[in-house]
Every structure is written in structure tokens, then in C-alpha cells.
A and B are shown apart, each in its own frame.
Chain A
Amino acid sequence: ELKVEQNPLFLSMQEGKNYTIYCNYSTTSDRLYWYRQDPGKSLESLFVLLSNGAVKQEGRLMASLDTKARLSTLHITAAVHDLSATYFCAVDESRTYKYIFGTGTRLKVLA
């Protein structure tokens, strides 16, 4: 059974600092997704990572995928308040089309 774990679950950081969110998954997959959710809102896609070593960057966020370690990271550079949200990773289970989410990381960036 595919399990997806994120850490930390909560993250409070100062503006201007760097930090990394980790996403581990339990079975073979080479497709990983990152989403953002603002309070009371729906989910919005951030990144799609489709192969080992894939790296995607958008603004202050950079995501990478290591399929051998079954690990993805979401790195935040010089955080700003607007990045405060909950971030989810998701993995789709090969051959079954099941799409499993991590529990999310709630990020709060303090001014």
C-alpha cells in the first residue's frame, strides 16, 4: 500500500530565511506532484516531477525528485509572507491510477 509522508507538518519561519519540506513515499513511482492550498480554498498545482533527478523552479520555490530514495523536496528560498499556505505532495501509484496525498505541511512565514 502506497504511503506518502511529509515533514515537517508545521513550519513557522522568518521572512528571508530558507527552508526545505520533505516528502517520502513507500513504493516505486516516478511521478510526484506538489500543490498549494490557501486557508478555506481549493488546491492549486505547483509542480509536476516525472523522472529521477527532475528539478522544477518557480519563483522562490524549487522542487526536486529522487526516485531511488523515494524522496522529493520543496525548497523555499528567502521566504516571504505570501508563501504562507499548506503544501501537499502527492504520488500516483503505478499501474493502479491511485493518487495518494501526503498529510500536508502548514507553512507560516512571519514578517
Chain B
Amino acid sequence: NAGVTQTPKFQVLKTGQSMTLQCAQDMNHEYMSWYRQDPGMGLRLIHYSVGAGITDQGEVPNGYNVSRSTTEDFPLRLLSAAPSQTSVYFCASSYSRRGIGGETQYFGPGTRLLVL
């Protein structure tokens, strides 16, 4: 198993550009999530999904869109990049969150994004 994969590893954008950060997992996990990590602020939840076709907002959703058309993939779209979105983005997944809970999350390697 490849686990959780993210592409690209590093990206530079200009203000106003759009892009999609890719995330995929091959563990048949229902729950997937996106976080951003900024110095001194830990990880903040952007969006999450409890299964294909179901997404919801986390703590800091503004400026980001997600969709979940398959169990495996959970892309994160930046609609119009801003310097405040410079961060490290992590995707994570866990086995199941539908009324059971208690599963640890498996994290991808991260995407470093710089918005100029």
C-alpha cells in the first residue's frame, strides 16, 4: 500500500491563481481531511469528508473548495490564491468515522505552498 499520497510536494503560485492539491489513499478509508500547518498554530482543519459524496467545513474553510467523488481521492482547490494561504498542507485519512470513531488518522507527506 502507498498509504496517503499528495501532489505536488512544492508549489509556487502568484496571487489570484487557482490550483488543485491532490490527495489519494489506497486503504479504503471513509474519512479524509485537509489541514494547513502554520508556525505556532498547530494544524487547522480546512475541510473533511466522511465518505464519497459527503463533505463539510472545518475550522478555516474560506478560500478552499473540496469534492469527494470517489473513496480514494479528495482534492483541495484554491480558488484565487492569496499570500495568507502560504502554508504546508496535509491530507489525512482514517478507516471510518460514521458513528464509530476512535481511529487514528494517517497523514500524507504534505504540500508546501508559497503564494507570492
A42 & B110 in contact (Cβ 8 Å cutoff)? yes
Known: A88-B42, A97-B56, A101-B43. A43 touches B107 (CB 8 A): yes
Tally of A interface residues using CB under 8 Å = 21
B108 & A42 in contact (Cβ 8 Å cutoff)? yes
Tally of B interface residues using CB under 8 Å = 27
A99 & B42 in contact (Cβ 8 Å cutoff)? no
A97 & B97 in contact (Cβ 8 Å cutoff)? yes
Give B43's nearest chain A residue, CB to CB: A101
Known: A92-B101, A99-B48, A101-B35. A45 touches B59 (CB 8 A): no
Chain B residues near A100: list those with CB within 8 A. Answer: 45, 59
Binary interface profile of A, 43-75, with partner B (CB < 8 Å = 1, else 0)? Answer: 111001010000000000000000000000000
Residues of A65-111 whose CB lies within 8 A of B: 88, 90, 92, 97-104
